[in-house]
Chain A
Amino acid sequence: MQVFGPSELLEDVLNAGLCIGCGACVNLCPYFRSYKGKTAMLFPCSRETGRCHAFCPKTEVDLDALSTAVCGSPYSGSPTGTYQQVFMARAGEGAGNGDFQDGGTVSALMKFALESNMIDGAVLTGRNGLVPAPGLTTSAREVPAFASSKYTAAPTLAALNDGFNRGFRQMGVVGTPCQLTAVAQMRTNPLQDANFADPVALTIGLFCTWALDTRGLLAFAQKRAPGEQIRKMHVPPPPAGIIVLETDTRTLEIPLEEIRPLVPAGCRICPDMTAEWADLSVGAMEGKAGWNTLIVRTAKGNSLVRKAAVARYLELADFPRENWKDLETAAADKKRRAFEKARQDGTVNAEAGCRAALRVDPRTLEKMTAD
C-alpha cells in the first residue's frame, strides 16, 4: 500500500469529486474538516505522507494488501467477502426497543458490546434533520438514539478520530463499507507510528449500494417538501424502484431515478456492498420485515454474536438459502459495476508512477468484471 500526503488527497479525491465525506481524514489534524456532509481542506499541508491519504477509501486502496492484513489472504473477489456464517437476526427482548430501521440488530449488538466492556466507546451516526450527526457514546442507553438508516454519506469517522484524540483505544464502529475500508486501513497503522496504533476493538458494517450527497438531498427535500422535516427514509426492495420519505404529515414516494443524480461519484467506484472488512455485517432482510441479515466474518464477531444471543440481546434464526443467492448476485453486480467504472476512469491499477483509487491483482479484476 502506497502512502502519499494531503496534496495528493486533495488532487485525487477532493478536487476529483471522489470524496464521499466518510470523515476518515477529518479531525486527524487541523486541516481537514467536515461540515454539512462535505469534507473541506482548510489550509495546505506540506507533508509528503499523512494518515489522511493512508486512511482514505477513495485513493490507493490496495485490496490484496488489505485482505492479507485483515483476512490473512489476498482479495478473492467473491461477492460478499470472507465470512464464517450468516444469520437472520433481530434485537432480543434484553436489548430494549428503539426506532429501528429493520430488526434493530446493530443497536442490540452495540449496546451489548458497551455493557460487556468489549468496547470503551461506540462510534455511531445520528441525524440532525437530514444532516448526519456522528457521535461517540459510552452509554448503552444512548445507542437507540442513533438507530435507523441515514441514506446520506456521513462523516462517521470524524467521530472516531475525535475519540482517538480524546484517548479512546477500544472503540466500536458502525459504518458503511467505505467507512470500514478506511477503518481497516487505519488499523494497519500505515505510517508505522507507535502513536497511531489501532484504536478499534469492533467493527460492524452496514450493507450499502449507494448513499446520497447530504447537501444535494437537503436541496431536493427543500424543493419537494418545502418547510417540512423528513423523519425517516426507506428504500423498499426491488422492483419497487422508489425511495420513501416520511415527514410529520405525509409519505412521499420518489422514483429512484430522480435521486440518482444525488449519488456521489465516489460511490460509483465502490466494490463493496456488504462491508467486507467488518467483524460483522448487517443489512435488511428481503421479504422478512423486522429482521436483519447478519454476516459473521471474524472470530471476534462470532464471539460477540454468541454472547449477545445468550444474553437475549439478539435473536438468531437460520438464513434462507434463496435469499443468500439474491444477496450474492446484488453484491457481485455492485462489484462488477464499480470495477468497470474505475477501469473506464483509469482509477484502478494505474500505470507505474501514476496513482490509483483501487489496486487489485489483474486476474481477480478480470474474474470480477467478466460477464
Chain B
Amino acid sequence: MSRIIQGAPGEHHLFMGNEAIARGALEAGISVAAGYPGTPSSEIIENLAADASETDVYVEWSANEKVAAEVAAAASFAGLRALCVMKQNGVNVASDFLLHLAGGGTRGGMVLVPCDDPGALSSINEGESRHFARLLEVPLLEPGDFQEAKDMIKWAFELSEQIGNMVMVRSVTRLSHASGDVELGKIPESDAKARFRHTGFILDPEQGAMTSAPVGYKHALQQEKLQKAEALFEDAPFNTYTGPENPELLVITSSACHLYSREAIGILGLENRAGLLKLGTTWPLPRQLVRAHLEKCGRVLVVEEVIPFLEENIKVLAAELAPEIGAKTFYAKRDGTLPATGEMNPDHVICALAAIFNLEYRSAPEQYTEKAKLCVLAGAPGRDLTFCPGCPHRASFWTLHNVLALDNREGFVCGDIGCYSMGMRETGFYTLKTMHAMGSGTGIASGFGKLDRFGMDQSIVAVSGDSTFFHAVLPGLVNAVHHGSNFTLVIFDNSGTAMTGFQPHPGLEVDAMGKPAPPLDIAGICQAIGAKVSVCDPFDLENTRDTMLETLDDRQGVNVVIFRQSCALSPEKKGKPRYEMHLDQKVCMGENCGCNKLCTRVFKCPGLNWDEKNQAARIDEVICAGCGVCADICPAGAITKKEAG
C-alpha cells in the first residue's frame, strides 16, 4: 500500500507532484487508470497500482500510450471516471486516437495527464504536449504547485463531465518530481457501475454510438464544449493575480514557471511594480480575465516552458482586443527576452526582469564566478552517462560493436528508446548511429534493409528493449518481414521496463497491480511473424559473437536475436552477485603492449578502476555486481570469477 491513500481530509502531507496527481485522481473517485511508463510520469500509475487492491481502481500499464488512452476511453464510455497518464512524447503516440476521441466526446470524466520534460532531463526531446490541447480542441489545465496538482485533477474530472469531453492536465518534471505540502481531501467510497449505452439515436451523446462522425455536426458540438469550458475558466480557482492594481509590467505565467516568476519578482523587490498573473487554465484562455489584466498595463512578460504557446495565444487575444485596449509591448521567447529552448529557472526570469526594468543584477560577485569556473574545470571529474556495473547492455554493445568491426562493412545499429539509448555514447562504444522514437530503430532498419538495390552493402542491425518491442516495434517488424527487408533485430530482453523502474509489460507474468498475467513470448511472436529467431545470453560473449556473425552473414530477410539477461538492478538480481570476482594485479598487463588497459580504458565498467600506484587494474568490490564479463575480456587472464556461494 502506498502512502497516497493514507491520511484523513484536512491533514497535510509532503507529496511529490506525481503523488499529488494520483491522490487527486483517487479523491475524484476514478475507476480506471492506464498509462505507459515514461519519465517524469511513471509514479502516478505506480502509486495507483500499489493501492489497487485497497481502492478498487483498475490500473494497467498498457502496451503503449495509444492503447492506454483507448483503455481509459472505454471506461469513460461506460460511465466511469478514467485517468490516462504518459510522458510528453506519449501524446504523439496516442494522438491519432485522441483526435477522434475529442471529436466524439466522452461520458464518464476522462482526464489525460501528460508529464512534459523541459530541458530533456530524461528524454531525447523536449517536445511538449500543450499544443495538442489546441490541436485536439480540448481544455488544458496546468497546476502551478503541489496542492493544485491534486485539486486540479478533481476539478478536471468535474469539468470533463460538464462539457462531455476529455480534459488535459499538463505537468512538468519539476512539478512531477519535486515535493511540496498538500492538504488532503476525501477519497469517496466507490460504487461505480459500468455500462456502455449504445442503443440510442446515433447523435445522442449519452445513449448513441461513440464516434467523431458525422464530422460537421460533431466538430461544431466539440467547439461548443470548448466555449463552455472557457466560460467556466473565467471563474476557475486556479487563475490568480498578485501585485499592484496598475502594474508597470504584467507577468503572465503558468505551471512551475509560476514559482520561478514569484521568486524572481521577490529577489528583485518588484512586488509593487510588477503584477503576476498565474494561469491554471491555459487553453482556451479565459478571455475576460486576461483582458481585465491586459487593460491595466502596457507591457507584458510571458514566462513559460518550452515553446511560446501561452505567448502566442495571449498575443492573438491582445491583437483581437487591441482596438479597445490599445497595443501592448510583449517580452517573451519570440523577441529573445527569454531563452527559446531548455528549462526555465529563476535566473532567466530575473535577467529578463532586470533588463525590462533596467536594473543592475548579479547573482554572484564576478570574482566568485570566475573562481568557480576554474574550480569546475580543474576539480570536477568527468562523468559521462554510463551503464551500471553488471548491466547486460554493456556486454551486449561490446559484442555488437565487435561483430560490426569484424564484419568490416561499415555496418551500424539503429537505436531505440531505453537505457540502451546510451549505446550512442562511450559506455556503449558509440555503437548506435540512429535514435528517434519508440520502435523507430526497427522501422528505420526496415527501410535501410531495402536499399541494397542502390548499392548499399552495409550490415544493418536494429535494437529494441523488451517493453519497446510490445510498444512500437511490432508494426516495423511486420513491415520488414513482409517486404523482405534484410537486417538483424536484436532485442535486449532484460525482463522489465528497466529504465523507468521495472514496470511490467506484456512479456511478463504479472500485471501493474501485481496480479498474475499470461506472459507473451517474444521469440514465438517473432517466429510467427516469419523472422528467423535465436536466443543468446549476452554475458556469454563467445556464443553471442558467433550467433551475431552468423546472422550478419545471412542477409536473407529478417533475423531476430534475443539477448536475454535481466537488468542488474532488477529486484530478483540486485545485491546477489553471480560471481565472486578476483583481479591479480601481478598478472595484469596494465598499459603494456598486449592490453593497454582494456578493462578500464575501453570496457569501462564502473566496477573496475585503475590503480595508479600499482599500475594495474583493480575491482571496486563495493559496486561490482559480479556479472563475470570482465573475466572474459581480460587478455592476460588477470581477472577470474568464482560462482558465488
Is A249 in the interface zone, CB < 8 Å from B? no
CB distance from A72 to the nearest CB of B (A): 28
Query: Closest residue of chain A to B595, judged by CB?
Result: A29
Contact indicator A35/B401 (Cβ below 8 Å): no
Is B58 in the interface zone, CB < 8 Å from A? no
Is B593 in the interface zone, CB < 8 Å from A? yes
Contact indicator B601/A35 (Cβ below 8 Å): no
Is A248 in the interface zone, CB < 8 Å from B? no
Q: Which of B406, B591, B595, B633 contacts A40 (CB 8 A)?
A: B406
Interchain Cβ contacts within 8 Å, total number: 48
In the complex where A42-B401, A43-B429 touch, is A33 in contact with B406 (Cβ < 8 A)? yes
Contact indicator A51/B593 (Cβ below 8 Å): yes
Is A287 in the interface zone, CB < 8 Å from B? no
Is B518 in the interface zone, CB < 8 Å from A? no
Q: With a 10 A CB-CB cut-off, give which of A41, A42, A46, A196 has the most chain B CB atoms.
A: A42
Interface size for A (C-beta < 8 A) is 20
Is B602 in the interface zone, CB < 8 Å from A? yes
Q: Which of B402, B591, B592, B601 contacts A42 (CB 8 A)?
A: B402
Q: Beta-carbon contacts of A17-41 to B below 8 Å, as 1s and 0s? A: 0000000000011110101001011
Contact indicator A46/B593 (Cβ below 8 Å): no
CB distance from B394 to the nearest CB of A (A): 14
- B401: chain A residues at CB < 8 Å are 42-43
**Complex interface residues of chain B between 378 and 435 (CB less than 8 A to chain A):** 401-402, 405-408, 429
- B408: chain A residues at CB < 8 Å are 35, 38, 40
Q: Bound state CA distance, A51 and B592, in angstroms? A: 11
Is B549 in the interface zone, CB < 8 Å from A? yes
- A29: chain B residues at CB < 8 Å are 593-596, 598, 635
- A41: chain B residues at CB < 8 Å are 405
Is A223 in the interface zone, CB < 8 Å from B? no
CB distance from B230 to the nearest CB of A (A): 61
Query: Closest residue of chain A to B598, judged by CB?
Result: A30
Is A16 in the interface zone, CB < 8 Å from B? no
In the complex where A29-B635, A35-B549 touch, is A42 in contact with B405 (Cβ < 8 A)? yes
Query: Closest residue of chain A to B429, judged by CB?
Result: A43
Q: Which of B405, B406, B593, B602 contacts A47 (CB 8 A)?
A: B593
In the complex where A40-B406, A46-B601 touch, is A28 in contact with B593 (Cβ < 8 A)? yes
- B406: chain A residues at CB < 8 Å are 33, 35, 38, 40, 42
Q: Beta-carbon contacts of A32-73 to B below 8 Å, as 1s and 0s? A: 010100101111011101110000000000000000000000
Query: Closest residue of chain B to A165, judged by CB?
Result: B635
Is A299 in the interface zone, CB < 8 Å from B? no
Is A256 in the interface zone, CB < 8 Å from B? no
**Complex interface residues of chain B between 573 and 605 (CB less than 8 A to chain A):** 591-596, 598, 601-602
- A43: chain B residues at CB < 8 Å are 401, 429, 598, 602
Query: Closest residue of chain B to A5, judged by CB?
Result: B593
Q: Bound state CA distance, A41 and B596, in angstroms? A: 14
Contact indicator B593/A193 (Cβ below 8 Å): yes
- A350: chain B residues at CB < 8 Å are none
Query: Closest residue of chain A to B404, judged by CB?
Result: A40
Q: Bound state CA distance, A360 and B215, in angstroms? A: 86
- A45: chain B residues at CB < 8 Å are 596
CB distance from B523 to the nearest CB of A (A): 27
Q: Bound state CA distance, A45 and B591, in angstroms? A: 10
Contact indicator A50/B549 (Cβ below 8 Å): no
Q: Beta-carbon contacts of A297-339 to B below 8 Å, as 1s and 0s? A: 0000000000000000000000000000000000000000000
CB distance from A132 to the nearest CB of B (A): 15
Contact indicator A47/B596 (Cβ below 8 Å): yes
Query: Closest residue of chain A to B553, judged by CB?
Result: A36
Is A1 in the interface zone, CB < 8 Å from B? no
- B592: chain A residues at CB < 8 Å are 193
- B407: chain A residues at CB < 8 Å are 35
Q: Bound state CA distance, A191 and B594, in angstroms? A: 12
Contact indicator A46/B596 (Cβ below 8 Å): yes
CB distance from B403 to the nearest CB of A (A): 9
Q: Bound state CA distance, A38 and B595, in angstroms? A: 21
Top 10 nearest A-B pairs by Cβ distance? A35-B406, A40-B405, A38-B408, A42-B405, A43-B602, A29-B594, A30-B635, A30-B598, A50-B593, A45-B596
Q: Point out residues on B near A: beta carbons under 8 Å.
A: 401-402, 405-408, 429, 549, 591-596, 598, 601-602, 633, 635
**What would 20 A/B residue contacts be, using CB atoms closer than 8 Å?**
A29-B593, A29-B595, A29-B598, A29-B635, A30-B633, A30-B635, A31-B596, A33-B402, A35-B407, A38-B408, A40-B408, A41-B405, A42-B405, A43-B598, A43-B602, A45-B596, A47-B596, A50-B593, A193-B592, A196-B593
Known: A29-B635, A40-B406, A196-B593. 10 other contacts (CB 8 A): A29-B593, A29-B594, A29-B596, A30-B633, A33-B405, A35-B407, A35-B408, A41-B405, A49-B593, A50-B593
